Amino acid sequence: MNYLTDRKRAQGTGAGGEGTHHHWQMMVSSAALVFLVPLFVFVFANGLGRSYEEVLAYYGRPFPAIVTGLTMVVVIIHLVHETQVAIEDYVHGVAEKLSLMAVAAFGYTLIAAGLFALIKLAL
């Protein structure tokens, strides 16, 4: 026989308690992307149609390299968090945990590879 109140039985079965943090994280990254994406399009368009040496010199300057790197990092982190929310909503059990680990690993691998390529291009 279990002598728990309804409140005690329900406690711990509700929300994960991280919704506000995730919401603010997504709002900040979305606000950053509002400015970064048009800036990136402008920077990337200026590099199009140039020769290889001109592109190397262009991305060797700090502004295009920083804008490209920031845009890439913020976009990938934003997409990783959105994908994690979708996985948490629709996948459960061991598959959920494995999917979350795979998405995080893939996202951070993309960031590392992209920054490595950008540094290699800029230097």
Please give the average per-residue pLDDT across 99-122, as a whole number.
95
Domain 20-122, CATH: 1.20.1300.10
Cα 8 to chain centroid distance, Å, stands at 37
Q: Is the pLDDT of residue 2 over 80?
A: no
Token pair recorded at residue 67: 């804008």
115 vs 105: CA distance, rounded Å: 15
Domain boundaries along the sequence of the chain: 20-122
Of 5-14, 16-25, 56-65, 101-110, give the lowest mean pLDDT range: 5-14
Q: To 10 degrees, what angle do helices 62-90 and 19-47 make?
A: 140
Could you tell me if 18 and 85 are in contact, meaning their C-beta atoms sit under 8 angstroms apart? no
Between residues 14 and 71, the one the model is more confident about: 71
Could you tell me if 22 and 85 are in contact, meaning their C-beta atoms sit under 8 angstroms apart? yes
pLDDT of residue 11: 63
Q: Is the pLDDT of residue 72 over 80?
A: yes
Could you report the per-residue pLDDT of 31-71, keeping only the tens digit for each?
Answer: 999 999 999 999 999 989 999 999 999 999 999 999 999 99
pLDDT of residue 17: 63
* Residue 12 confidence class, pLDDT cut points 50, 70, 90: low
Could you tell me if 39 and 70 are in contact, meaning their C-beta atoms sit under 8 angstroms apart? no
46 vs 67: CA distance, rounded Å: 13
Q: Is the pLDDT of residue 106 over 90?
A: yes
Those residues whose C-beta lies under 8 Å from the C-beta of residue 107, and which sit 6 or more positions away, are: 76, 77, 79, 80, 83
